[in-house]
Structure 1
Amino acid sequence: MKEVQDILALAIRQPAMSDQLQLAESDTVAVPDCLDFSLQRFTYDRPLPVEDVAMVVYQPAKRGQTAAIELRYCVAGNKYCQNPGCTDRVCADGHRDNCVQKSPSIDMITVKFQPSFIQSLQKGSTNSTLFDMQSRKPFVKTIQPSTKSKEVLEQMVHHNYDGALKNIFLQSKALELLLFSSDQFVQNDTDDRFGCRFLTQLEDREKIEKARDILLEQLDAPITIRDLARRVAMNECYLKKGFKAMYGTTIYDYFQKERMEKAKSLLYERGMSVSEVAILMGYSCISHFSTAFKKHTGLKPCELLLR
């Protein structure tokens, strides 16, 4: 699903690494007249640099489909537990650190609210509504999951409710997620809150995605924003604003981070020398590479080799 790939691209900045993921578990729950909840749990064998990320998505009504508000989360977690004699609840209640049979995982969680439910929450409000369900303009806003949100997500994944009680539980937790996410959402000004207007067009979002792909394909050859904009046929200003709206960082910072992550992999996993990695990453001066590497990792390249 494209939605999964969109959020995975933010959580795992090195696309090739996402190929290591294996779907281990999935669950869907429809709470009538309220929301749809889905969970996909992926496991992996080798260490992955996973960043917790969340997206607030508004999809306007289309032919045959109603408008929808979605909260999407990608969070790193653990599978509690592979031992048949141990339950998820036991590990989740505080014994996870001592569990030798847990395995690392990534949880993809989506909460899709029904329009009528969102509108019922906004009835009687004298303030401006949080979501205009009549709008024809979609938007996507990327946020960092708060500690409170991650605690709620943990509870939604690990519980012992069934039937009607499960529906009540998921509805209550989904409302908490909506509250905590909205707190972060409305802190931004109106333009940021609804994302860049030009990104409502799929064509423009695809251009931003293409720009990111170009950056990842040539980490050893820095490219100017002007040249990048030309290659994707987009205005420089729009490219910079759209990139930050979609990926939560500037083009330069994104490029440098991916560049240093690749350098770290070459040093640590392949055992290459500092000078070799510096050259491969496009640096003509080793000291400049060392400075950039330390700024990103907190270590000098040579210190990483000693570990």
Structure 2
Amino acid sequence: MKEIQEILSLAIPQPAMSDQLQLAEQDAITVPDCLDFTLQRFTYDKPLPVEDVAMVVYQPAKRGQSAAIELRYCVAGSKYCKNPACTDQLCADGQDKSSCSEKIPSVDVITVRFQPAFIQSLQKGTTNFSLFELQSRKPFVKNIQPCTKSKAVLEHMVHHNYDGMLKNIFLQSKALELLLFSSDQFIQNDPDERYGCRFLTQLEDREKIEKARAILLEQLDAPITIRDLARRIAMNECYLKKGFKAMYGTTIYDYFQKERMEKAKGLLYEKGMSVSEVAMLMGYSCISHFSTAFKKHTGLKPCELLLR
């Protein structure tokens, strides 16, 4: 339960809001000689600002036992009706499953723990590369932002129609995809034991990085320079950049742009605002610059999203 509370506090920073969560369902599956998969699905009555987050937990090899890797995710999800069609691409009436009449927003906490023997089998025959070759002697916990591909995999793992042996095969294949997609974010050429940065072992420094993130989220319509951000949290610029990437798995600029475009997407798609209105609210003086940034993040031009 402690692990669930820890990742929930990252996804929903306001404790009062996380108290609104109600456990709707849970599941635990063991794929023999491979992995353990658990799901806790929480629903809520009032809208919640859920930030998709992930944690990588690594325990080094011990005497007589191989290294262990655990991936934890907390993502915004949906609970669909019980019709099996709603656990695939289409709802029962042939519409996109997002149109399911019984769909309920949820917060999904998903854990994939690879069994030590399985990790060892993956590394057999690899003489020139180890998944954690520089960190293999020290345990670490690292926060990352789940990429779009990882979130799609999690959606499939939660909503599928497989049973028995096919279910085990399916979960194993999807878990390996998660490990693959996440590896670029947590394999670092930095031997420090926690978060990849030694100075982040101090709670005060982690709180400064969290404050920097909060400042970015508060002013998505007004870009701030790293120098000004570092001054506001009283931290060295180099430490700020390195610490931010270690804790959130991305650069300050990329994180800011991602959140900025996600907010813009909501204003366009959910609020129905015009492209020029959203561009202005997001601090862009030139609509074409906004369009370019939006397409880079979403793969669509703002006007294409409005037509959907």
* TM bracket, shorter-chain basis: 0.5 to 0.7
CA 1:295–1:174: 2 relative to 1, 3 Å:
same
After TM superposition, give the deviation of residue 2 of structure 1 in Å.
1.6
Q: TM-score, normalised by structure 2?
A: 0.62
Aligned length in residues: 281
Q: Which residue of 2 aligns with 1:130?
A: 131
**Which string of whole-angstrom CA distances, capped at 9 and with x for unpartnered residues, describes residues 14-52 of structure 1?**
999988865432223456765332112244678889887
Q: TM-score, normalised by structure 1?
A: 0.62
Q: Which residue of 2 aligns with 1:70?
A: 70
The runs of 5 or more residues in structure 2 that have no matched partner are 95-99, 295-300
What is the root-mean-square deviation of aligned Cα atoms in Å?
5.2
Amino acid at match of 2:91: R
After TM superposition, give the deviation of residue 236 of structure 1 in Å.
1.0
Does 210-219 or 116-125 show the bigger shift? Answer: 116-125
1:217 maps to 2:218? yes
CA 1:55–1:217: 2 relative to 1, 3 Å:
same
In the alignment, is the contact (CA less than 8 A) between 2:291 and 2:302 conserved in 1? yes
Does 240-249 or 107-116 show the bigger shift? Answer: 240-249
Distance in 2, Cα, partners of 1:75 & 1:152? 9
Q: Secondary structure at the match of 1:98?
A: coil
Q: Which residue of 1 aligns with 2:147?
A: 144
Q: Which residue of 2 aligns with 1:38?
A: 38
**Which string of whole-angstrom CA distances, capped at 9 and with x for unpartnered residues, describes residues 226-266 of structure 1?**
23223434321232233234435432343355456557767
**Which string of whole-angstrom CA distances, capped at 9 and with x for unpartnered residues, describes residues 84-125 of structure 1?**
xx3x3x433554262743405453321022334423543554
1:175 maps to 2:172? yes
Distance in 1, Cα, partners of 2:145 & 2:259? 19
Amino acid at match of 1:58: Y
Distance in 1, Cα, partners of 2:265 & 2:158? 35
Distance in 2, Cα, partners of 1:258 & 1:16? 23
CA 1:17–1:221: 2 relative to 1, 3 Å:
farther
Distance in 2, Cα, partners of 1:68 & 1:101? 41
Does 200-209 or 41-50 show the bigger shift? Answer: 41-50
Q: Which residue of 2 aligns with 1:92?
A: 87
In the alignment, is the contact (CA less than 8 A) between 1:59 and 1:139 conserved in 2? no
Q: Give the number of the structure whose alpha-carbon radius of gyration is greater.
A: 1
In the alignment, is the contact (CA less than 8 A) between 1:266 and 1:277 conserved in 2? no
Q: Which residue of 2 aligns with 1:255?
A: 256
Instruction: Output aligned runs, 1:5-20, within 5 Å.
Output: 5-6=9-10, 8=11
CA 1:260–1:189: 2 relative to 1, 3 Å:
closer
The runs of 5 or more residues in structure 1 that have no matched partner are none
Q: Secondary structure at the match of 2:91?
A: helix
1:58 maps to 2:62? no
In the alignment, is the contact (CA less than 8 A) between 1:60 and 1:68 conserved in 2? yes
CA 1:264–1:81: 2 relative to 1, 3 Å:
closer
Amino acid at match of 1:240: K
CA 1:110–1:15: 2 relative to 1, 3 Å:
same
Does 175-184 or 233-242 show the bigger shift? Answer: 175-184
Amino acid at match of 1:98: D
